[in-house]
Amino acid sequence: MKKSILLALASAAVIVLPAVVTAQDVKPPEVNISGVPLNQNEMRNSTPMSESEFAQFKRTYELSNGNTLSLFSRSNLKFAKLDDGTWHSIVATGPNSFISNDHQLEMKINLKDDDTVSGYLLMPAAAPAVAINDAAWLPGMKVEFR
C-alpha cells in the first residue's frame, strides 16, 4: 500500500513539476515606451530672460516684514538671497516673476514708472516650536514689497 501511494505521488510530481517550471518561465508581456526623458527644468515653464532684461531687477528690496531680498546675476545665471541667507539660483517664469530652482522662493516684482516697487515673495515659513510632536507642518509665507 505504501508503495502504491509513493508511486501515485511520484507520477503526480512528474505531471505537475514541468507545469510549475513552465509557469515560472512565462514572463508577463512587456511594453517598451520610448520618448524624451522628463526634465524638471523644462517642466517649470521657465521663460528666457536676457541679462539686459534682468538688469532692471538687480537690487536689494525691503520687504514688509523687515527682511531684505537681493537679486544679482553672474553670466547667464540669476540669484536671489533673503537677508544674509544662502544664494538661490532663480529662473524667470514670466516678465516679472521668478522661482528658485530649489522651490524655496517664488517672487513677483512689479517695477513702476515712479521708481516704486510692488509685488510679493513666497517662501516657507519658519518651523514653529512644537514640544509634543517632532513633526511640524511648514506652511508658506507671503511677504509684500514696500
Q: pLDDT 10s per residue in the chain (146 long)?
A: 666 676 666 666 666 556 555 555 666 666 555 444 444 444 457 788 889 999 999 999 998 888 899 999 988 899 999 888 889 999 999 889 999 998 889 999 999 988 889 998 888 766 555 555 544 445 566 666 66
* Helix/strand/coil for 8: helix
Beta bridge partners of 102: none
Beta carbons of 81 and 75 less than 8 angstroms apart = no
> For position 55, what pLDDT does the model report?
93
Whole-angstrom Cα distance, residue 143 to residue 117? Answer: 13
pTM above 0.85, yes or no: no
- CA–CA separation, 117 vs 60, rounded Å? 11
Return the number of other C-beta atoms located less than 10 Å from residue 23's C-beta.
8
Nearest CA to 59 out of 50, 68, 67, 51 is that of 68
**What pLDDT sits at residue 41?**
47
Side-chain half-sphere CA neighbours of 29 within 13 A: 1
pLDDT at residue 90, rounded to an integer: 94
Location of C-alpha cell 510679493: 120
Alpha carbon distance 73, 90 (integer Å): 10
- Could you give the CA distance from residue 119 to residue 77 in angstroms, rounded to a whole number? 22
Residue carrying C-alpha cell 553672474? 74
